[in-house]
């Protein structure tokens, strides 16, 4: 059996390890939604929660709250509008700004989606053997990356 290179490289390949885990989870979640006959994408839930909790929120506000790019949120919300989960209107004060609301379809599906997300939280806790230490480490990692990017840190080390 061949060695798992990503595991073997340890910390030096953390981004690939996190990506691989994310891809596995996303693929299985997508398959689960298909099995449950729910027309939904795994990454939409964050947007749905924000729009539910903050009606008339804009793309830029969503991007800022999630710390995602404007472009990725724009693509995601367009898909959600096309699938009938979000509706759009123009901000009354700034007609250039598009704002989002939940549709009746989203409101109708919200209870089952919320149940799925809650069970997903239970499953993650179980997958981590009830040890949430990783969350603390991710917080440190994200905070430090906000101060100085990974690439900037490598350049600094090359110049040391």
Tens digit of pLDDT at every position of the chain (160 positions) = 568 888 888 888 899 999 999 999 999 999 999 999 999 999 999 999 999 999 899 999 999 999 999 999 999 999 999 999 999 999 888 888 899 999 999 999 999 999 999 999 999 999 999 999 999 999 999 999 999 999 999 999 999 8
DSSP codes of every residue in 71-140: HHHHHHHHHHHHTTSEEEEE-SS-TT-EEEEE-HHHHHHHHHHHHHHHHHHHHHHHHTTT--HHHHHHHH
Which tens digits make up the pLDDT trace of 5-31? 888 888 888 999 999 999 999 999 999
d(C-alpha 10, C-alpha 108), whole Å: 45
Pick the CATH number of 41-127 from 3.40.50.720, 1.10.645.10, 1.20.140.10, 1.10.10.10: 1.10.10.10
Asked whether the whole model's pTM tops 0.75, one would answer yes
Per the CB < 8 A criterion, the answer to whether 56 and 99 are in contact is yes
């Amino acid at each position: 059996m061949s060695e798992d290179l990503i595991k073997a490289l340890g910390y030096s390949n953390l981004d690939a390890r996190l990506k691989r885990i994310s891809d596995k989870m996303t693929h299985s979640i997508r398959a689960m939604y298909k099995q449950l006959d729910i027309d939904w994408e795994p990454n939409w839930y964050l947007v749905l929660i924000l729009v539910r909790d903050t009606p008339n929120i804009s793309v830029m506000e969503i991007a800022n709250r999630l710390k995602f790019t404007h472009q990725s949120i724009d693509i995601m919300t367009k898909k959600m509008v096309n699938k009938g989960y979000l509706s759009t209107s123009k901000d009354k004060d700034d007609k250039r700004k598009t704002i989002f609301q939940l549709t009746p379809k989203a409101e109708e599906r919200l209870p089952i989606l919320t149940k799925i997300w809650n069970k997903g939280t239970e499953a993650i806790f179980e997958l981590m053997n009830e040890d949430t230490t990783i969350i603390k480490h991710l917080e440190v990692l994200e905070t430090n990356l906000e101060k100085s990017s990974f690439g900037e840190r490598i350049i600094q080390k090359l110049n040391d």
